[in-house]
Amino acid sequence: MNFEIPAEYAELQRGVTDFIDRELRPLEERELDPEKDEVPIDLRDRVRRRSAELGFYAADFPQDLGGSDLPQLGMVLLREAAARSGCRLAAFATYGPEGPTGVLLSATDEQKKRYLVPLVSAEKSMCFALTEPDAGSDAQNIKTTATKDGGDWILNGTKHFITNGKHADFALVFAANDRGKKAQGGITAFIVERDTPGFNVGRGQVGMLEGEGQFELVFEGCRVSEEQVLGGPEAVGMGFYAAMQFLAMGRLSIGAMCNGIADYCLSLGLQYAKDREAFGRPIGKNQYIQGHLVDSLIEIKASKLMTYECAAKYDGGDSVIQESSIVKVYATEMVNRVVDRMIQVHGGMGWMRELPLERIYRLVRILTLVEGTSEIQRYIIAKTMGL
């Protein structure tokens, strides 16, 4: 067992940090209002494209699709370094639901060329449309239907909470081809281009962060050819399986982001504890304040180690169902605790929009909910324990 970060990944971390310092921080200062949450879509796209040019964006995708074949351990370290910068634009340089999902690796060669390659180069963006008003955690229970009509499929139904739903060039839409069969052959994934008749963007759904948020997508007699079935016509009924196959990549990615954000928040808290004086001495001299900082450091370290271990096992070809759920639960809950504590360390200033902690507090709250809630991760872990 070797606990050293491999030299090439340390180099990669320096590279992305340098890119963020040289290009993204000045861009953020020029173009973002620090007290507003919204990051305009064209700015996100510019960041994604520049990052792709430099080889950071989607680096874990295969080389023949424009990526760098970077193993997950490298990708985790890259994302952690980007998140640790505290630069808001850095999030779009390495991670984002509008970018390529591992699920598209199940596509046919023709589909990969048409849809995945422009995602990896950040020329296009997508959205992942699984959740419905009556089916979130219980995703097998989706009501959107796919009905065969000659050589085509007709989609009907409503998705909600869809990130990038309004701007995506295409949606990966999960629909029931046979509601009785559910995950066992009853759910198909379709690649649906945004200008397909019957594909409508519904109302926007605004959450804790201001800005455009999520969207409803409404499919009304939306006709797609069987060539739009993810994986081709023979992959009908395989949609749920395709989605489940690449869950670990998403969970690791979120874990890495949490670790980096937590590092950043801890660095703010540590500095404040040294600088701020009360009762004639730095507040960091008080054991209660030390406890907030020390407990955070301990938890960040634990979270990183479990993330690296899971990534290394994934790269070694192991099934990491248990490990990736552990990472998802622990890292997302850890970062919420760390941000909360760092606000406490800052006293009233922590609550103010002048400092980034207030926005990060709202940002990280979503992470225990998306890509499988904490309860669902615990359910998965319980299953792996034979319960």
Ligand X SMILES: Cc1cc2nc3c(=O)[nH]c(=O)nc-3n(C[C@H](O)[C@H](O)[C@H](O)COP(=O)(O)OP(=O)(O)OC[C@H]3O[C@@H](n4cnc5c(N)ncnc54)[C@H](O)[C@@H]3O)c2cc1C
Task: Tell me which residues touch ligand X (CB under 6 A).
Answer: 97, 127-131, 136-138, 161-163, 207, 214, 366, 369-370, 373, 375-376, 379
**How far does the chain reach from its first CA to its final CA, in angstroms?**
30
Q: How far is the CB of 163 from ligand X (least distance, A)?
A: 4
Give me the catalytic one of 28, 80, 358, 371.
371
HEC string of the chain equals CCCCCCHHHHHHHHHHHHHHHHHHHHHHHHHCCCCCCCCCHHHHHHHHHHHHHHCCCCCCCCHHHCCCCCCHHHHHHHHHHHHHCCCCCHHHHHCCCCCCCHHHHHCCHHHHHHHHHHHHCCCCCEEEECCECCECCCHHHCCCEEEEECCEEEEEEEEEEEECCCCCCEEEEEEECCCCCCCCCCEEEEEEECCCCCEEEEEEECCCCCCCCEEEEEEEEEEEEHHHECCCHHHCCEHHHHHHHCHHHHHHHHHHHHHHHHHHHHHHHHHHHHHCEECCEEHHHCHHHHHHHHHHHHHHHHHHHHHHHHHHHHHCCCCCHHHHHHHHHHHHHHHHHHHHHHHHHCHHHHHCCCCCHHHHHHHHHHHHCCCCCHHHHHHHHHHHCCC
- Which C-beta is closer to ligand X: that of 274 or that of 383? 383
- Which C-beta is closer to ligand X: that of 201 or that of 369? 369
Position of minimal CB gap to ligand X: 136
Cα(53)–Cα(208) distance, rounded to whole angstroms? 32
CB 61 within 8 A of CB 116: yes
Cα(236)–Cα(147) distance, rounded to whole angstroms? 11
Q: How far is the CB of 292 from ligand X (least distance, A)?
A: 27
Q: How far is the CB of 161 from ligand X (least distance, A)?
A: 4
Which residue is it, tokens 């065969």?
A: 148
CB 235 within 8 A of CB 188: yes
- Which C-beta is closer to ligand X: that of 304 or that of 328? 328
- Which C-beta is closer to ligand X: that of 68 or that of 332? 332
Q: How far is the CB of 138 from ligand X (least distance, A)?
A: 6
Q: How far is the CB of 347 from ligand X (least distance, A)?
A: 29
Element (H, E) at 152: strand 152-163
- Which C-beta is closer to ligand X: that of 5 or that of 366? 366
Q: How far is the CB of 167 from ligand X (least distance, A)?
A: 12
Q: How far is the CB of 84 from ligand X (least distance, A)?
A: 23
- Which C-beta is closer to ligand X: that of 54 or that of 369? 369
- Which C-beta is closer to ligand X: that of 10 or that of 382? 382
**38 carries an active-site annotation:** no
| Residue numbers annotated as active site | 371
